[in-house]
Every structure is written in structure tokens, then in C-alpha cells.
Chain A
């Protein structure tokens, strides 16, 4: 079974802190994604990566950056956390093209 693992299920951070969300997949997938999910808005793409060291902005990249130094790991970085970044963050991975995306269990981040 494909496994996408996010480092934390729940996280509470203070405004202005630098926050790292880690995601690891074990299926040698080329593509990895970071989404945030807010009630009534559905999932929105923050960043994605289709290869090591490659990254592309999604629909809402402002306030975020990403890092993909190894194929299996994709990190989301909040440079200076703000309260409007309180959300559920979901990582996903897939093979090339429009194949099925497999999601991690999510990280619920609260910024106080």
C-alpha cells in the first residue's frame, strides 16, 4: 500500500514563528503536493513538485515556501506564521501525469 506520512497530526504555533511541515512518501512517486483545506472552500493547492529540487506555485502560495531535496520528502515552510494560516494541511503524492493522488492523514495547524 502507498503510504504518505505527515510528521504531525496536530500542531500549535505562535504568530511569527517559522513552521516546518514534513511529508514523506514510500512509493517513489515523482509528484508531490501541499494543499490546505478550510471549511466550505475545499482543498486548495499551495505548491507542488514534479521532481527533486523542482517546485511550482499552486493557487495560494503566498506566505509559504517548499523544499524537495530528496524524492521521497516534500516540506512546507511557513516563514512567519499568521493566524490566517490556521488550517488543515494535506500532503499528497502521485506518479506522473493525471494518476491517482494518495493523501497523508493531514496536519491540523493552529496559529495563536
Chain B
């Protein structure tokens, strides 16, 4: 079954600290993996996208890694800011020639002052 599982479900960290969010998937055949950030009451916004051959991609303080062999991805946030408080969603697309995209349930991150 094609699934995307994220952990932890929620996370509370102090401002300035680093954190890492995990995404494990069983989607096959794999096409690409994306991380989205969703602020409360808003639509998701893309942070990174990685294909099979890419194992790391950065966007400012956000760094995503991908291990296609173990089917795991992580999103590392460096020097967290209050504005990083949001849900982070891992999305995996299948390479079937059609639109087969599976969303994870997301990790809710709270950054405290």
C-alpha cells in the first residue's frame, strides 16, 4: 500500500534551536518527494522538491535529505524562529504517468520564545 508516514506528530522547541522532522514512505514507483510548510489557516507552500537522484536540497534554514534506498526523508530546520511555527507536510509522487500524489499527515511544529 502506498503510504507516507511522518514523525513526530507534533514538536515543541525553543527559538534558536535546531530540529529534524522525519518522513518514511512506501510509495512505488517513486517519482519525487516534496516538503511543504503550511501556516495556520493558509494553504501549503513548497519548501523543497527532490527526485530519485538527489539526496539533499536546501532552502535557506531548511535542509531536506532523501535516502531512496531506505525510503526515508528528513527536514532539518536550523536556528528556528517563531515564524517557523507551522505544519510541515511530506508529499510523495508516484511515477505512473498520472497524478498519484500521497500526502503525509504532517508534523505540527511549535517554536516558543
Contacts and interface: CB of A to CB of B under 8 A. Distances in A.
Interface of A: 4, 9, 31, 33, 35, 40-45, 48, 50, 56, 90, 92, 98, 100-106, 108
Interface string B32-56: 1010000001111110010000000
B100 to A, nearest CB: 9
B14 to A, nearest CB: 26
B43 A103 contact: yes
A48 B99 contact: yes
B31 interface: yes
Interface residues of B, number: 20
Given A31-B99, A42-B89, A42-B106, A100 B46 contact: yes
Interface of B: 4, 31-32, 34, 41-46, 49, 89, 93, 98-99, 101, 103-106
Contacts of B46: 100-102
A40 B99 contact: no
B42 A40 contact: no
A106 B32 contact: no
B33 to A, nearest CB: 11
16 contacts: A31-B99, A35-B103, A41-B105, A42-B4, A42-B89, A42-B104, A43-B89, A44-B103, A45-B101, A92-B43, A98-B31, A98-B32, A101-B46, A102-B46, A103-B43, A105-B42
